[in-house]
Structure formats: C-alpha cells, structure tokens
Chains A and B, each alone.
Chain A
Amino acid sequence: MKESAWDSCGLGAARSRSNRAAAWAVGILLGLLLSCAATMIGCSVAARPAAFQDKTATSLSLVAPPPGRSLEDLVPPQSLPARDEELWIIEKPITSNTPPAASNDADAADRSPGGGMLLSVHGATLTPLPLEKTDVHANITGLIASVDVKQHFNNSAKEPADAVYAFPLPQNAAVNEFILSIGKRHIRAIVRERAEAEQIYREARKDGLLVSLMVQPGPNIFLQRIANLEPGAGIDVELRYFHTLSFRDGWFEYEFPMLAGLRGTHVPRPPQRSGRNIALAVHLDEEMPIEAIDCQTHKMAVKMGASASADVTLQAADEIPNRDLVLRFKLAGTMPKFSLATQADGDGGIVALTLIPPGKIDALPRRNLEMVFLLDANIAATAQKAAMQMLGDLTAADTVKIIRLEDGVAFDLTPTPFPAAQASAIASIMSAAPANSSHPQKLADALGGPADPTRTRIVCFITDGHLPLARMLSALPPALGNARAVIIGAGPSPDRGNIESLARAAGGTAIDFAGAAAEPLMRQFIESASHPSVADMQFDWRGATVLDVFPRLPVDLLVGHPLLLIGRYKGDAPAELRIQGNFAGNSRVLKIPVNNSQPQTPGHAPLASIWARRKIADLGLAAAARPDPALDRQVRDLALEYGLVSHYTAFVAVDAMTRTADVGGNTK
C-alpha cells in the first residue's frame, strides 16, 4: 500500500525536484544580486573614503597611534611631517630705508623683485621702449596676494620692432593670466609646452604676425617677447599673478617692483622716477583686525575699512622714489592664529592652512637644543668659524654634535654629544683630522643616531654649495628625520643657487655667512628654534584624504615664521583639522574648523595656482635629485592643467589678424 501510495506520487516527487531546482536558481540569482549590491556598497565605500573611513582614521591619527602602529600606517605618506619644512623668510641685507639703487650689489637687486622693461630689438641693439603707464591692483588676503598689473607701452619707432620685456617677480609668484591688448582688442595668451610655444612664436614671427611669448628663464624672472610690433602703436600687457607674502619682525610685507631701469648692471639709476605714470592700489582683507599699516619706501594714502580691511593707494606725485615698493602691515593680537580654508575643484579641491605664531618669544618656554654641525671639509676653516659663532648663541644646557662631510662621506667626530658650554673642546674636535677619531659613514647613518626626545635637534650644514647637488638633494633631506635644518653658505664663492635648493629640499632656511645680516640671522634662528610656539605637531584631517601638502607638514611653529600650508584633498573636503602638540609648553589638541571667508575663485584661483606652483617646485627639486623624464612630464602636465608658466611651459599669443611685417619676418 505504501509503495503504491508513493508510486502514485512519483509525479509530485519530480515536481518537487523541479521546484527545488527553481528555488536554488532563484537563490543563486539572489545571491548574485546581493553580491552585486555588496560590491557596489564596497565600491562606494572605496570611492568615498572621507565618509566611511572617518570613524577609523579620525580616532587613530591624532592623539596617540595605537600600540604597534606607527603614524606612517595611519595617514597618507604625503601628509606626514617628514620634514619640518616651512616658510622661512630670509631677511634682505638691504634695509628698507636704503634704496636698492644705492647699493652696488647687483646680485641682490637681481634676486629681489624688479621693474619691467620693454626693449626693442634692432639686431644686437636693445632700445628701451617708453613705459607710459602702469596700473597695479593687489588684493591681499591672509598670506596671499593676488596682483593684476596692466602696463602700457608704446613703440615710438618708425618701423615695426621686436621687443623683449623682462619682469622680475617674487620667487613664488604664479603667473596664470596674460592678455595682450592692442587698442580695443584683447588677446588672451594660451599656455603651451615651452618648446612648442617657442616654435609657434618663431613661426608666427616669420609669418609677419604680431605674436607674444612669455617664458620663465629663472626662478623669479619672466621674459616676454613681442614680435612685429607696429610702429606708432601702443600695446597693453596685462598680467595676473599670485604669491605669498613675506613676514619679517612681526610685519607682513607686500612688495611690488617699481624700480625703473635695468637690474643686474652697474649702470647708475636715478634716485627719483616719475610718479605720474604709475597707479597702485592695495586692498587688504584679513581675518584678524589690522593693527598697523606702514610703508617706508613710498608715500601711501591709507583708508581703513572695517577692522580687518583697508585700502592703500600710492599718493600721486610728480616724482617718487625709484625703488621697489614695500608695504607692511601688522595684525592685532599676541596669540598664535590658525585658519583653515578649502576650495572645491573638481573631484576634491585645495585646502589651505595658515599658522601665524605670536610676534614675540617672551612668554614661550625655552627648549634645549641638540645642535648638529655638519661641516663641509672643502671649507673646513670657514665652516669652523661659522660653527663657533653659532655656538656662542647656545646655552650651557644645549648639546653639540660635529660631523665632517668629506667627498660625500661623513665622519662623526662626536659619537656622544658634547655640552655646548665646552667650547674649547668642541673647537679642538672640529680642527682634528677625522681619521684620528672616527670611521667613515653614510650621511644618513651619521645623522641617524638616537635623538634626545627632550631636545629640539637642529642640523646646521655649513657648506660652500660646491657639492654634487643631485647626490646631496637625495641624501640630506631623508637623513634629517625630524630635525630642523639651516644651511649656512660660507667660503670664498658659495653657490647660492645650490644652497637655496638644499635649504628648500630640507625644509629649512639658508643664511649667507658672508652677508652683513648673518650674525643676527643666526641668532634669531637659534632663538626661535629654542622657543617654539607649538612643538611636536601632529595633524589629523578628521578622515579627509589630504595629499601633497606644501611645504610638508612641519613639526614646530616658530616665532617669526608664519606658515601657509597648501594641499589637495580628494573626495569630501575636510571640515576640521586637529593639531596635537605642545603649545607653549602645554600639551593639548587644537581644533581648527574650516572657515571659507577668504575670497576665492574657481579655476585659476589663487589657492589652486599657488598649490600647483609649489607642487611644480617640489617636482623640480625631485628631478634635480634624480633626473627622470616622468617628473618632467608631471611638471609639464601640471603647469598645463593649471595654466601656469613654468620651466616647461610658456604663454603664447598670436594675432593672426595683424600682419605688420612682410612675410619672412623682415622686421626692421
């Protein structure tokens, strides 16, 4: 009976199998769909690190990394405070009361911003073309100046001419707009690869067309060429550039090149120049109240606006001093000031952090130093002299190490740090032959000894700069660790370019030992380094992905050295930054919320341009240390993307509607 019953249910059993198979199929499909959903969620999580990694990264990176994990494991490598690099302002040897023209230091004049000069080219002869009018409008916010310059030139010659126009700008200036105006016509120049732009210039010139090219032959020199300029015609050159301000003795300084005449020559320049052909207006818009505005170089009219804004204009006069304009202003308050701004830019954007230390070190506790003198054997005697001079600024509680660098090999002359008070012993160690007391080491090994956590380590490299730059650029910065760096250029003919490159790569400062200001500069350096406003800083972007911060996140905030750190963020903008550190001797965490009250514009915005400029400079240093075509390409792509003039890119503007010379480029 049972068999019969089951047999009769054979169909049902088959149906049941079919149902089970269908259910399995649906289950598999469901599983696939759920897998897809999970994958999508996973993708979304990966694409939105700020949103999903917030809870992990946020709690990890700041206060104390968990046991077994280092900070390097927790934050993007580019964000790490690998170097205490910051904006060091080098005091000029020329005081603000002394016009640069009065000095015969042509090199100094070359390094400072200078006035433009349009020269017509007649074969090998350069004839200055009259600069009829200059209009300058500068907007200053925080540490950034956005400057619009319009200069009107006139070709008074009776025949078409080619012209070359040199325009020195601050070293960190980012030129991102160039417009050539002829009458009512305005032609915006295009950024192209430099070789490409130069060829376009040559071709258009040969074709008899009005064409202009702008290149950057040096770090702070811009050179503009104009071909086939019509006789009797006037042209306007409009530039827009951004740069960061200098900071000296508690004052922010804005400089504009107003020196008329050729720089870099010993041709005497008149002490006065016409004041009728220049108009200059500066608008200040700061977050903190402006305490004082001062200009010792020119007479300025100051109109204070709200507490944090002001308008300053050059007073009209028939004649004005023939010198660069330096406008200074001081912000109110003695406490350190911190601000954070972001600017969206496609997938991510720019983040800017401003850290302004207090004006004086009076209220700051002193921190003992561990001074490491790295002496270039090429200039042993001078290096020893400079080191001994710096030793005089140390206290008895500080310690000293001495390393001698000879042909790229380091000799640690003091395996155990010496108390700084033992000056005579230190002097004898310095003058001893290295072979007698030490064995050769790699620089990284010599500098990589255990650091005293209770002291601030400073590496003072005294050199003439005549070293293999690429080798030093690749060896010195990574060997520094968290030490601060100061590069002292000494010797009979120091290579200033190499010394400044080393200082930039090391995130430190350069001091010219031969300069008149060397002694006070070295003393100021020791004073500020031993009295940090904030020490041992650690940065927590609260889960946001912040990369490529320039200069690299510093360890200390020192008096006299305000910082403008600019980086790129991916995805969501950071809403807050937390800095853990030792604030005037007290360990605490500072929360800095984003405040976007600074005037910003998209596209060619100041922040984006300045960030790109710094990234380009960083890549340039990397390329100097390790030549790599990929780095050159990165620089080129970056400059093209941000529309900046660089070593690899140039502005070119062709007026294909104005043929002033006969074809063949026979400009007279």
Chain B
Amino acid sequence: MKQAAAIFILASLLLCTAGSDRAAPIAAANAPADVRVRFVAVGVFIDPHGKPLACYQVKIIATGDVKLVGIEGGDADAYNQPPYYDPRALQGNQIILGAYSLGGNLPVQNTRVATLMFRVAGNVDPAYNATLDVAGTTDATPIAAAVTLVPLTPPVRATNEPSTSHGDAR
C-alpha cells in the first residue's frame, strides 16, 4: 500500500513537472568556427501506389543540430506551392506538412510533394524521420501510401554560367 502511494505521488510530481516544462530556448546560430556548417535540401516523397494523391499530411522529425531555413513545394504542379505548416513548429525539430489539390493532374506515382531546406551544423549527419499522418484520394478517403525523405544535392554550376532551370531534384 505504501509502495502504491509512493508511486502515485511520484507519478503526480512527474506529471506536474512535465506540465510546467517549456520549450527550450533556441540556441543562437553562433556555431564555433570549427563546426562544419552546410545546407541540405530534403525532398519529401509520397508514393500513392497508383491512386491519385488528392491530399497528404506528413510529420517529420529531424535529430541533430538542424534548423529549418526554407519550405518549398514539390515537383508536381498539384503540389507546387509550399504546403501548410505550423510556424510554431520551428521551435523544435519537428514539423507537420500538409497540402491538398483540387487539380486534375494529381500524381499517382512516387512524387516529391515538398522540399525542406535545413542548415546542418556538426560533423554528424542528422537523421530524418517521416510519418504519414494521412493521404487521401479524390473521393476523400484514406489511401495506403508510402512517404520517404530523400536528401537532394544541389547541382554545382560553374561561376558565371547562366541557368534557365532550377531545382532538378533527381
């Protein structure tokens, strides 16, 4: 009985403490000079397995010293505009992206629906994890789909070389 009471009190305290937790303040981007800083683009790909992708919602978590520095739409015209997201998510290393399209030209195969730009500090490559909250097709029913995150490498161009195309992710 005493043991149960002790567990109960401890659990209550933990709950109270957890309730008062606040998001840790953002560390300033004052990385030491010897810390390697680079920028990476991570493509968010969704494969609707042959069904038209009318909407999606994806949760992405990054581990490591990463900062989101830009959100871009995807390849397909249907998802060309930057998706919905919560600005407050930037306080942490997670974000939920979502978008829908009423257009007729919906992707049916593996497609980049969004691109996230990250600043990465340190020599350890961060890990990215994506979870598909929901994907739906044109009758507004959920579909089985797969989400993958693919780091994209920027094409290195010679200086002064004019360019007419951008963002070829593949």
Q: Do A and B bind each other?
A: yes
Given contacts A654-B119, A655-B117, contact A186 B90 (CB under 8 A): no
Decide if B159 touches A657 in the complex (CB within 8 Å).
Answer: no
CA distance A169 to B6 in the complex (A): 61
Interface mask (B59-70 → A, CB under 8 Å = 1, otherwise 0)? 000000001111
Contacting pair B69 A190 (CB below 8 A): yes
Q: Give which listed residue, B70, B160, B163, contacts A656 with CB less than 8 A.
A: B70
* A188 proximity list for chain B (CB < 8 A): 70-72, 82
Q: Which one of A196, A633, A657, A661 contacts B115 once the chains associate, using CB atoms below 8 Å?
A: A657
Q: Mark A641-668, 1 if CB is under 8 A from B, else 0.
A: 1110000000011111111111000101
Q: Is B30 an interface residue (CB 8 A)?
A: yes
Q: Which residues of A contact B86 (CB under 8 A)?
A: 603
Q: Restricting to A479-497, which residues have a CB under 8 Å from any CB of B? A: none
CB neighbours (8 Å) of B119 from chain A are 200, 203-204, 654
- Residues of A near B117 (CB, < 8 A) are 187, 653-657
Cβ contacts under 8 Å, A185 to chain B: 72-73, 166-167
Contact of B167 among A191, A199, A603, A657 (CB under 8 A): A657
Binds A, one of B9-17, B32-40, B103-111, B141-149: B32-40
Closest-by-CB residue of B relative to A199 is: B29
Q: How far is the CA of A158 from the CA of B162 in the complex (A)?
A: 8
A547 within 8 A of B: no
A140 to chain B, nearest CB (A): 25
**B28, B69, B156, B167, most chain A CB atoms within 10 A:** B69
Chain B residues with Cβ under 8 A from A659's Cβ?
A: 154-157
Q: Which of B80, B87, B155 contacts A643 (CB 8 A)?
A: B87
With contact pairs A192-B67, A659-B154 given, residues A654 and B39 touching in the complex (Cβ less than 8 Å) = yes
Query: 6 shortest A-B CB distances, which residue pairs?
Result: A188-B82, A656-B41, A643-B87, A656-B39, A196-B29, A654-B69
A residues less than 8 Å from B71 (CB atoms):
187-188, 190
A417 within 8 A of B: no
Taking A200-B69, A666-B159 as given, write out 5 further A-B residue pairs in contact, using a Cβ cutoff of 8 Å, ordered by the A residue number: A182-B167, A192-B26, A603-B86, A655-B70, A657-B166
Bound Cα distance from A654 to B155, whole angstroms: 15
Tell me if B129 is interfacial: C-beta within 8 Å of chain A. no
Is A184 at the interface (CB under 8 A from chain B)? yes
Q: Does A233 belong to the interface (CB within 8 Å)? A: yes
Which of A179, A604, A640, A643 meets B82, CB within 8 Å?
Answer: A179
**How far, in angstroms, from A188 to B30 measured CA to CA in the complex?**
23
Question: What are 29 A-B contacts defined by CB distance under 8 Å?
Answer: A158-B160, A160-B159, A182-B167, A186-B82, A187-B117, A188-B70, A188-B71, A188-B72, A189-B70, A190-B87, A193-B28, A195-B30, A196-B26, A199-B28, A200-B29, A230-B163, A232-B163, A603-B86, A640-B87, A641-B87, A656-B152, A657-B154, A657-B155, A657-B166, A657-B169, A659-B154, A660-B157, A660-B163, A666-B159
Residues from chain A with Cβ under 8 Å of B167 in the complex: 182-183, 185, 655, 657-658
In Å, the complex CA distance between A659 and B164 comes to: 13
Distance A233 CA – B167 CA, assembled complex (angstroms): 14
Q: Is A209 an interface residue (CB 8 A)?
A: yes
Q: How far is the CA of A158 from the CA of B87 in the complex (A)?
A: 37
If A191-B87, A199-B29 touch, whether A652 touches B162 (CB-CB below 8 Å) is: no
A536 at the interface (CB under 8 A from B): no
Q: Is the CB of A657 within 8 A of B152?
A: yes
With CB as the reference atom, state the residue of chain B lying closest to A183: B166
A640 / chain B contacts, CB cutoff of 8 Å: 87-88, 90-91
Q: Is the CB of B160 within 8 A of A658?
A: no
Question: Which residues of A (197-247) have their CB < 8 Å from a CB of B?
Answer: 199-200, 203-204, 207, 209, 230-233
The answer to whether A656 and B162 have CB atoms under 8 Å apart is no
* B123, CB-defined interface residue at 8 Å: no
Report the Cα distance A660→B155, complex, angstroms.
9
Question: Is the CB–CB distance between A204 and B41 below 8 Å?
Answer: no
**Across the two chains, which residue of chain B brings its CB closest to A604?**
B87
Binary CB contact string for chain A from 127 to 171 against chain B (1 if under 8 A, 0 otherwise): 000000000000000000000000000000011100000000000
B72/A186 in contact, CB under 8 A:
yes
Which residues of B lie under 8 Å from residue A160 when comparing CB positions?
Answer: 159-160
- A657 partner residues in chain B, CB cutoff 8 A: 41, 115, 117, 152, 154-155, 166-167, 169
